[in-house]
Structure 1
Amino acid sequence: MKGKPTPASAATSGDAASDPDSTPQTDVIRRRVRLMIEITARAGEYRRGLVKAAGRLSPEEAVILADLERHGLQVPQMRDVLRGGHVLVDDPDLYEKWRTGKGSHPRLSSHHRDIDKKLYPDIGMRGHVVREKLHGRTVQGTWVQLEKTPAAFGGSKMPSLDDLRHLMDYLVYRFTGSNVGPWGLSRMTERRPMYLSPVVAMPTTLTPPVAASLTRALRRIEQSDDTTAVDQELAARFPPPDRPDLSGELGQALSSRGGRGLFGNSEVWVTQAPSRGAAEVLRERHESPAVDLWRKEGLS
């Protein structure tokens, strides 16, 4: 059903004053997330009550959705998230951040079985919008998925009504191939996830023939740089550093996923001394003299 678009701010005018955990920063985050939900609810089809639930959005729920937006989530993609789309983010810090959130608790799930669940247990959290947020670790980062019905299988607990409803949601998934989220169905499953902030710069090895061919190409680039120098004598006095393995310089990484560049390991550096005279010259504004083209060309 289409959610009736009502202003989220009007529905939650007293939330900030009544919420003991409310701070100016959390209020800003909640208003922003509510606005995103309201915008996507105008065009998408959802189960009833989405905008009303957004009016009761908790700070913990808002932080999770805001973190996804910070990692590239767009308003149209919010639709799949609210419908239970499986989301991957190449940021392991999100796992720890959400794990310590208020209301978080260990949960059992069948997602990403290649991860040591004793070291990185899956974490659930309930809320008005997310219903049941479930997240865990991946090899590269964090995964998260919203579920319509919470479940607590395992241990000595007897199956509850929510467990039976969760089982029904699983049957829907098996028959339709879509995740059952709190506000609809999504084709973004674990096998076909939504990928945010992927790490595309992955280290890899080169085969010997490829490394040899790449080294020859880099040598030719250096030689062409020497022969095209403005001053041949100056270029001869300062030859490039002799490095036996030019291909080994590729892929060198700095912090924050920054690359060193093609010749990042070169034994070349630049020193700069402050020069007041040069700074004064650069600050001067030189205006070109005005030229009367009409008078110069005899057209006046």
Structure 2
Amino acid sequence: MTHPGRPGGAPASDDARARARQAEQVRERIRLMIEITARAGAYRKGLVAAARRLSPEEARILSDLEERGLQVPQLHDVLCGGHVLVDDPSLYERWRFDKLSRPRLSSHHRDIDKTRYPDIGMRGQVVREKLHGRTAQGTWVQLEKTPAAFGKGRLPGPSDVRHLIDYFTYRITRSNVGPWGLSRMTERRPMYLAPVVAMSTSLTPPVARSLTAALHRIEADDDVTAVSQDLAARFAPPDRAELSGELGQALTGRHGGRGLFGNSEVWITETPSPVAAAVLGAYRRPPGAEAWQTGGPDG
């Protein structure tokens, strides 16, 4: 049976399974990021266990931040309640989820018409209490330790008392109280993220010639200073006429440059190889070291 309007007659169930697989991949990616940052950062207990119960909605929020430049080291501040400004107003509606999101009262960004753009709260295992709203040019988001239940038509409850205690902690420490720690990234000193606005463009011939000459000069200087001059003369770099064309190839992807991990520490865990250990242990010095020290077989 074929379905009109679908390439190849793919059934709707295939599309649903594809979306489910994609959502699970996003969740697994975010869980991995949380586990990596938890190795170096100091968090309250329970973060890794909560990450295993990460909901698709929570994963979407954190994934959207990562797509707009969030790096693993910055994720620590987000999980600890850092105030984040994103230069993307579409996220305000994207982060409103049916049956999960609800209007919230907050004192953030009072210059925005709260009747038109009310602040939106959502609870979750990792975000605990996610609060977001609009700014003049984009969207802001902040994770809170204690959900606040008060709002229109609601009376304060025990959770609101704990939320008030978190506010006093903020006033004393000047740090936001997030679900997994404290962050100095407050509304007055926020974290700023922006979508990619770069676009490819061609260079005029004079600019391309000047840039190529500068790149050749830099490469020649690096080749001479990196090793001794006699070795540099014997092993010349490859002759490439258009060095400027390689600039667009060297930085692939939206994170070209610092990368997703930024200046974070990276751990590599591998299974030890007994064979490799035995080989390396047998040679305390490189082969032929004795010959070099004594002048070789010819003296």
If the TM-score is normalised by the length of the shorter chain, which range does it land in?
A: 0.5 to 0.7
Equivalent residue number for residue 189 of structure 1: 186
Please tell me whether the aligned partners of residues 108 and 152 of structure 1 are also in contact (alpha carbons under 8 angstroms): no
Q: Secondary structure at the match of 1:99?
A: coil
Equivalent residue number for residue 175 of structure 2: 178
CA shift, 1:126, in A, is 0.3
- Structure 1 residues 62 and 130 mapped into 2: Cα distance closer, same or farther (>3 Å)? same
> Which runs of 5 or more structure 2 residues have no equivalent in the other structure?
1-16, 203-299
CA shift, 1:99, in A, is 1.7
Equivalent residue number for residue 104 of structure 2: 107
- Structure 2 Cα separation of the partners of residues 102 and 156 of structure 1: 18
- Structure 1 residues 101 and 31 mapped into 2: Cα distance closer, same or farther (>3 Å)? farther
Structural mapping, 1:135-150, within 5 Å: 135-150=132-147
- Structure 2 Cα separation of the partners of residues 257 and 42 of structure 1: 33
Q: Secondary structure at the match of 2:95?
A: helix
- Structure 1 residues 39 and 258 mapped into 2: Cα distance closer, same or farther (>3 Å)? closer
2:72 aligned with 1:62, yes or no? no
CA shift, 1:152, in A, is 2.5
Q: 1:131 aligns with which of 117, 128, 140?
A: 128
Q: 2:116 aligns with which of 100, 114, 119?
A: 119
- Structure 2 Cα separation of the partners of residues 181 and 32 of structure 1: 22
Q: Which whole-Å deviations, capped at 9, do the CAs of 1:29-71 have from their partners, x for residues lacking one?
A: 0000000000000001000000000000000000000000000
Structure whose CA Rg is larger: 1
Q: 1:163 aligns with which of 160, 163, 177?
A: 160
- Structure 1 residues 64 and 101 mapped into 2: Cα distance closer, same or farther (>3 Å)? farther
TM-score by length of 2: 0.59
> Which runs of 5 or more structure 1 residues have no equivalent in the other structure?
1-19, 200-255, 262-300
- Structure 2 Cα separation of the partners of residues 97 and 38 of structure 1: 26
Please tell me whether the aligned partners of residues 179 and 185 of structure 1 are also in contact (alpha carbons under 8 angstroms): yes
Please tell me whether the aligned partners of residues 85 and 188 of structure 1 are also in contact (alpha carbons under 8 angstroms): yes
Aligned length: 187
Equivalent residue number for residue 284 of structure 1: none
Query: What is the root-mean-square deviation in Å for CA atoms of aligned residues?
Result: 2.4
Please tell me whether the aligned partners of residues 148 and 181 of structure 1 are also in contact (alpha carbons under 8 angstroms): yes
Residue identity in the other structure for 2:182: L
- Structure 1 residues 120 and 155 mapped into 2: Cα distance closer, same or farther (>3 Å)? closer
Q: Which whole-Å deviations, capped at 9, do the CAs of 1:230-251 have from their partners, x for residues lacking one?
A: xxxxxxxxxxxxxxxxxxxxxx
Q: Secondary structure at the match of 2:132?
A: strand
- Structure 1 residues 44 and 101 mapped into 2: Cα distance closer, same or farther (>3 Å)? farther
Q: Secondary structure at the match of 2:78?
A: helix
- Structure 1 Cα separation of the partners of residues 198 and 136 of structure 2: 17
2:85 aligned with 1:98, yes or no? no
Please tell me whether the aligned partners of residues 30 and 59 of structure 2 are also in contact (alpha carbons under 8 angstroms): yes
Please tell me whether the aligned partners of residues 86 and 143 of structure 1 are also in contact (alpha carbons under 8 angstroms): yes
- Structure 2 Cα separation of the partners of residues 49 and 185 of structure 1: 15
- Structure 1 Cα separation of the partners of residues 60 and 176 of structure 2: 23
Please tell me whether the aligned partners of residues 82 and 184 of structure 1 are also in contact (alpha carbons under 8 angstroms): yes
Please tell me whether the aligned partners of residues 84 and 140 of structure 2 are also in contact (alpha carbons under 8 angstroms): yes
Equivalent residue number for residue 223 of structure 1: none
Q: Secondary structure at the match of 1:34?
A: helix
Equivalent residue number for residue 80 of structure 1: 77
Off by >2 Å, runs of 4+ in structure 1: 152-158, 256-261
Please tell me whether the aligned partners of residues 134 and 144 of structure 1 are also in contact (alpha carbons under 8 angstroms): yes
2:11 aligned with 1:30, yes or no? no
- Structure 1 Cα separation of the partners of residues 178 and 192 of structure 2: 18
- Structure 2 Cα separation of the partners of residues 39 and 260 of structure 1: 36
- Structure 1 residues 70 and 169 mapped into 2: Cα distance closer, same or farther (>3 Å)? same
Residue identity in the other structure for 1:157: R
TM-score by length of 1: 0.59
Residue identity in the other structure for 1:84: G
